[in-house]
Amino acid sequence: MSSELKTLKDKLDYTFKNEEYLLVALTHSSYANEAKLRESNERQEFLGDAVLSLVVSSYLFQRYRMAEGDLTRVRASIVCEKSLCGFAEEIGLGQALLLGKGEEQTGGRERPSILADAFEALIAAIYLDGGLGAAENFIHPFAEHTLGGEPQPGVSDYKTLLQEIVQKNPGEQLSYRLASETGPDHDKCFVAEVLLNSNVIGKGQGRSKKAAEQDAARQALELMGH
């Protein structure tokens, strides 16, 4: 195993049962043609594109209250080539790709289109190997990172909405507290709780304290039927 592949596998936070899916995801058509391999990552890219769209659409639908046009716009910001290229760079995907000599010599490892396509092929690899749940676990952090944990234009500010509801009942006190903080500095995971008086009514997580509090407020609103 190359050091680049080992580094990539360490960053994926996912263990493949069948690593053939991963190897196909890393195989660019230029390498497949030169090595006379039967398959490149193009078919998996096709599937990964569909899985990515479904997972991000579901994520946005469940997390944010926004009109269809806003949902479409925000989804596009997550699944566009620029974002996917950035995600690929975060995990060092380009360094682990199998490229033909021509692509290698002309900077293929840094080419946005190649990186974005390979990232989609990687999503398909995880989906094929571990199912939709595994793909969701892989994609969600990237989606949340892109959104920054803050309400988007056209999206409800859950903390404000919850506060407005609670204020209708004089004497009720709303507060937030940090329940846990895990992970290295560059990849923190915060868990926050929202309390009504002294009772926990929602618990959420995010890559910032604000994002975790928003998620906690969102869950509290769901439990309250809003």
Catalytic residue numbers, as ranges: 49, 120
For the record, the structure tokens of 206 come out as: 């995010």
- Rounded to whole angstroms, how far apart are CA atoms 100 and 28? 8
Q: Could you give the CA distance from residue 31 to residue 34 in angstroms, rounded to a whole number?
A: 5
Strands (E), 101-223: 174-182, 189-196, 199-206
How many CB atoms within 10 Å of residue 82?
A: 10
CA 38 – CA 34 distance, rounded (Å)? 11
Separation between Cα atoms, residue 61 and residue 63, nearest integer Å: 6
- Measure the CA–CA gap between 226 and 221, rounded to whole angstroms: 5
